[in-house]
Amino acid sequence: MTTRGVNVAIVGTGVIGAGWAAHFLAHGFTVTATDPGHEAESRLRNWIDNSWPVVERLGLANGASRDKLTFTTDVGTAVRNADFIQESGPERLDVKHALIASIESAARPDAIIASSSSGLAISEIQAGAKHPERIVLGHPFNPSHIMPLVEVGGGKLTSPDNIAKTMAFYASTGKKVIRIDKEVKGHIANRLQVAIWQEAISLVQRGVASVEDVDAAISYGPGLRWALLGPFLNLHASGGPGGITHVLQHLGPAQREWARDLGMYPETDDYIESIASGVDAELRLYDFPEMLRQRDELLIQLLDAKRSLSQIP
């Protein structure tokens, strides 16, 4: 799939879908978006207007324009001329099936349908589809108009060729694409996040530390290194001349002991109130919308810095 003249359809314009719309518009595509929500079009256009300075800083392709956005409440109209369809509906299998049926009633048989699903298996989403071979996973990260990572994978009936085409298409728009070789609940990055959240919640519930200090432990500690190198390369760097082999041999016994002491994810919702109270306490001195604006600013600076360094993956 070449990028020139590609028509993209966005099905679902919540935070993720709106981010996708801004991303594709910034890369010069013609975008048709659809969402049944009340005032969905005005919310989407306002969101894109507010986000446009950010995507401008990331770099606009030739022909990039917000004027290339069309909105319709009819799914069939949105996907009829689409070459690539990004589905970003609610994370419910019944809703996904209904959306796929609506999309397939009007879309060309060869148009790829990429689901932004954060945890559902594509094999489940493509069940009952007319053309399941063209349904793939295309899971981004929020904010999806800034974060480069996209997880791509297929279900039992997805063709390898369509997976390859999807990966190439996303990569052509500047995304960092990783392939999921085997379906698993939550995919890759979300499972890694949940592992951290599990222990973060446990540390607070066990009285080891406050919400604020757990957040600081990541954002001022390993999170800074993780923003540059992944967990394996950071371990390799920690091993000195012996690299990851040495550090795993040296710390292996201690890490196994720590792992046995890790908390479990709570089985009930009793923990939510205390965690939410901790977050409220952490934010008491801050303007959260301004915090997110500054977060986006730092994300862009960090991405610019990473791109300028040839030895940072």
The CATH class given to the 7-179 domain equals: alpha beta
Q: For the ranges 65-69, 173-177, 247-251, which has the lowest average pLDDT?
A: 247-251
Residue 252: the pLDDT is 87
Q: At residue 109, does pLDDT exceed 70?
A: yes
Residues of the chain with CATH 3.40.50.720: 7-179
Would the pLDDT of 167 be above 60?
yes
Residues 6+ positions from 162 with CB-CB distance below 8 Å: 112, 133, 134, 136, 154
Look at residue 135 in the predicted model and tell me its pLDDT: 98
Q: What share of the chain is helix, strand, coil (3-state, %, to 5)?
A: 55, 10, 35
Q: Please give the pLDDT value at position 1.
A: 54
Q: Could you say which DSSP state residue 188 is in? A: T
Q: What is the pLDDT of residue 63?
A: 93
Report the pLDDT value the prediction gives residue 32, as an integer from 0 to 100.
98
Q: In this predicted model, what pLDDT tens digit does every residue of 237-274 receive, in sequence order?
A: 999 999 999 999 988 889 999 999 999 999 999 999 99
The predicted pLDDT at position 6 comes to 87
> Would you say residue 4 has pLDDT above 70?
no
**CATH class (in words) of the domain with range 189-307:** mainly alpha
**From-to residues of CATH 1.10.1040.10 in the chain:** 189-307
Q: Please, which residues have CB within 8 angstroms of residue 134's CB and are 6 or more apart in sequence?
A: 109, 110, 111, 112, 113, 158, 159, 162
The sign of the torsion formed by the CA atoms of 265, 266, 272, 276 equals negative
